[in-house]
């Protein structure tokens, strides 16, 4: 597996969402005791001894905003926290349809950044996902995985791509609905604040 694949897999694990684990506290009947021994009892006070657990996955929070982008970071307990840019994408009726997360990759890769784009389950996967930045040539990307919440395109962005994002005003993210394969849905992705936001993401790796 390449460094790029490992990095995209790691960030997908963070951005695709962790499954919620339901925990139940149950009373366990004590073993048979000898005659005359006092049996343990359950009381409200005993509940204070129960562990409620602690999160095992890094917890995301929004550190600040940069134009149309949010700087989403993960609490790891370390001084250096991984951060990425987040922007929700909305349809013509104002409902959120997708979201985009862009993160920095370590130096030495052909791709200098990666992105995970989440779309609804009822998306025509074979049609892929297209990104058009201003008047540049559109780029098409495949979907790589789906879960109960949606489907995801995990893509690599070259320095040329990042430079286009920094120069651009808007991008169009296009997908095809499964129920209407002859129709294309175009979602506006604002590039306002991208340059400053991406520089802050880069700075978090250099601490």
> Is there a contact between 175 and 98 (Cβ–Cβ < 8 Å)?
yes
Read off the CATH number of the domain in which 70 is found. Answer: 2.60.40.1880
Banded pLDDT at 30 (limits 50, 70, 90): very low
DSSP symbols for 59-102:
EEEEEEEETTEEEEEEE-SSSS--EEEEEEEE-TTS-EEEEEEE
Q: Indicate whether 82 belongs to any domain.
A: yes
The string of pLDDT tens digits covering residues 75-99 is 988 878 899 999 999 999 999 999 9
> Is there a contact between 35 and 135 (Cβ–Cβ < 8 Å)?
no
Q: Indicate whether 191 belongs to any domain.
A: yes
Q: Which residues of 116-137 are buried (b: 16+ CB within 10 A; e: fewer)?
A: bbbbeeebbbebbbbbbbeeee
Mean pLDDT of 115-144: 96
Q: Indicate whether 49 belongs to any domain.
A: no
Q: Indicate whether 34 belongs to any domain.
A: no
Q: Indicate whether 190 belongs to any domain.
A: yes
Q: How many residues are recorded in the chain?
A: 207
pLDDT at 194 over 80: yes
Tokens of 43: 């009381």
Banded pLDDT at 47 (limits 50, 70, 90): low
Banded pLDDT at 8 (limits 50, 70, 90): very low
Task: Supply the pLDDT for residue 15.
Answer: 47
Task: Supply the pLDDT for residue 77.
Answer: 82
Banded pLDDT at 107 (limits 50, 70, 90): confident
The total of structural domains in the chain comes to 1
> Is there a contact between 188 and 89 (Cβ–Cβ < 8 Å)?
yes
Q: Which one is predicted more confidently, 27 or 54?
A: 54
Q: Indicate whether 107 belongs to any domain.
A: yes
Domain residues for the domain of 95 are: 3-11+56-205
Least confident of 37-46, 82-91, 118-127, 151-160: 37-46
> Is there a contact between 101 and 85 (Cβ–Cβ < 8 Å)?
yes
Task: Supply the pLDDT for residue 207.
Answer: 63
Q: Indicate whether 153 belongs to any domain.
A: yes
pLDDT at 59 over 90: no
Q: Indicate whether 47 belongs to any domain.
A: no
| The model's pTM | 0.74
């Amino acid at each position: 597996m390449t460094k790029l694949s490992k990095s995209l897999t790691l960030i997908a694990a963070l951005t695709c969402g962790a499954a919620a684990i339901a925990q139940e506290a149950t009373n366990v009947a004590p073993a048979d005791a000898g005659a005359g021994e006092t049996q343990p009892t359950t009381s409200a006070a005993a509940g204070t001894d129960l562990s409620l657990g602690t999160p095992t996955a890094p917890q995301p929070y929004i550190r600040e905003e940069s134009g149309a982008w949010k700087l989403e970071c993960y609490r790891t307990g370390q001084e250096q926290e991984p951060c990425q840019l987040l922007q929700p994408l909305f349809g013509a009726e104002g409902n959120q349809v997708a979201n985009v997360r862009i993160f920095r990759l370590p130096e030495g890769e052909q791709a200098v950044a990666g992105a995970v784009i989440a779309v609804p389950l009822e998306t025509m996967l074979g049609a892929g996902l297209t990104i058009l930045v201003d008047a540049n040539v559109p780029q098409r990307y495949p979907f790589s995985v789906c879960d109960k919440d949606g489907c995801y395109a995990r893509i690599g962005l070259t320095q040329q791509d990042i430079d286009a994002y920094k120069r651009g005003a808007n991008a169009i993210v296009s997908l095809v609905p499964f129920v209407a394969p002859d129709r294309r849905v175009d979602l506006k992705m604002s590039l306002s604040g991208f340059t400053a936001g991406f520089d802050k993401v880069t700075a978090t790796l250099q601490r």
